[in-house]
């Protein structure tokens, strides 16, 4: 049997890179996608994956990515929608162009990549769509208007496509972590300090970990482990879920 192929977005660093590394290590063909070409190529070569540069806020580049993956490997069996950014600002000051970009990148691209990959999975009678969501896809926090709106949209999209994919052997799930130790989170610390008028250490203790029962940042490799489970036969009946890894945040 030929190896299954996984397409991972935002794979040049952070969660995306950890997921791509886990999948490559488990023997999957992996196509890494990111706008950061230099870092993306370097990391893809290191883990034995392929790389495709693209701006996922653009519809035509979403389609080109899926076509490139299918052309190289023959199919798209697993789609990991991970690419995203964060911007922290009160709603009255939130830049309108930043809103448009973030919704395009994190919600519209999730739809488009799923749409373009769907027929490959349907044809094979097997597929996995895993949306790297956030605890903010289930709960809200101040000053993150676009991010939380996009992530709540991903939660609904996950449930809907899970219902459509079930009869065709396609499962769709989202992973909802709390704060993961990534460059994205590192960048948020300074932004949150400014928005709340507190120090960066206070951001970690009083904002990021305040609602957590387990007082630690999550490691990216932990997300990679969950992805491997959701791709396995053991998870063939797991679909439409918001798989939380949130240190107890949503238990409150």
pLDDT digits (tens, 9 = 90+) for 41-77: 999 999 999 999 999 999 999 999 999 999 999 999 9
User: CATH 3.40.50.720 spans which residues of the chain?
Assistant: 5-177+219-244
Fold of the domain spanning 5-177+219-244: Rossmann fold (3.40.50)
- pTM (two decimals): 0.94
CB neighbours of residue 234 within 10 Å = 9
Catalytic residue among 120, 147, 179, 229: 147
Q: What is the arithmetic mean of pLDDT over 12-19? A: 97
Whether 147 is catalytic: yes
User: Distance between CA 48 and CA 43 in Å, rounded?
Assistant: 9
Strand partners, 173: 130
State the maximum Cα–Cα separation within the chain, in Å, rounded to a whole number.
57
Structure tokens belonging to residue 249:
């945040």
* Rg of the chain over all Cα atoms, to the nearest angstrom: 17
pLDDT in tens, 97-131: 999 999 999 999 999 999 999 999 999 999 999 99
CB neighbours of residue 104 within 10 Å = 18
User: Distance between CA 96 and CA 108 in Å, rounded?
Assistant: 16
**DSSP state at residue 57:** T
- Nearest of 65, 4, 60, 72 to residue 33 by alpha carbon: 65
């Amino acid at each position: 049997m030929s190896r299954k192929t996984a397409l991972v977005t935002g794979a040049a660093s952070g969660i995306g890179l950890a997921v791509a590394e886990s999948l490559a290590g488990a023997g999957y063909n992996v196509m890494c996608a990111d706008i950061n070409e230099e870092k993306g190529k370097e990391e893809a070569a290191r883990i034995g994956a392929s790389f495709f540069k693209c701006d996922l806020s653009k519809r035509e580049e979403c389609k080109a990515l899926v076509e490139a993956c299918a052309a190289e490997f023959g199919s798209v069996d697993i789609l990991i929608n991970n690419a995203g950014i964060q911007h922290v600002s009160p709603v009255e000051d939130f830049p309108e162009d930043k809103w448009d970009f973030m919704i395009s990148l994190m919600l519209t691209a999730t739809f488009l990549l799923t749409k373009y990959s769907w027929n490959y999975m349907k044809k094979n009678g097997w597929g996995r769509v895993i949306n790297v969501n956030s605890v903010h896809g289930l709960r809200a926090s101040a000053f993150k208007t676009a991010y939380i709106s996009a992530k709540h949209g991903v939660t609904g999209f996950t449930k809907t496509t899970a219902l459509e994919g079930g009869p065709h052997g396609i499962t769709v799930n989202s992973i909802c972590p709390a704060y993961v130790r990534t460059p994205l989170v590192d960048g948020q610390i300074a932004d949150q300090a400014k928005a709340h008028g507190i120090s960066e250490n206070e951001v970690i203790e009083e904002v990021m970990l305040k609602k957590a029962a387990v007082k630690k940042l999550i490691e990216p490799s932990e997300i990679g482990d969950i992805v491997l489970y959701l791709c396995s036969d053991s998870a063939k009946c797991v679909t439409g879920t918001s798989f939380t890894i949130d240190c107890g945040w949503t238990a409150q």
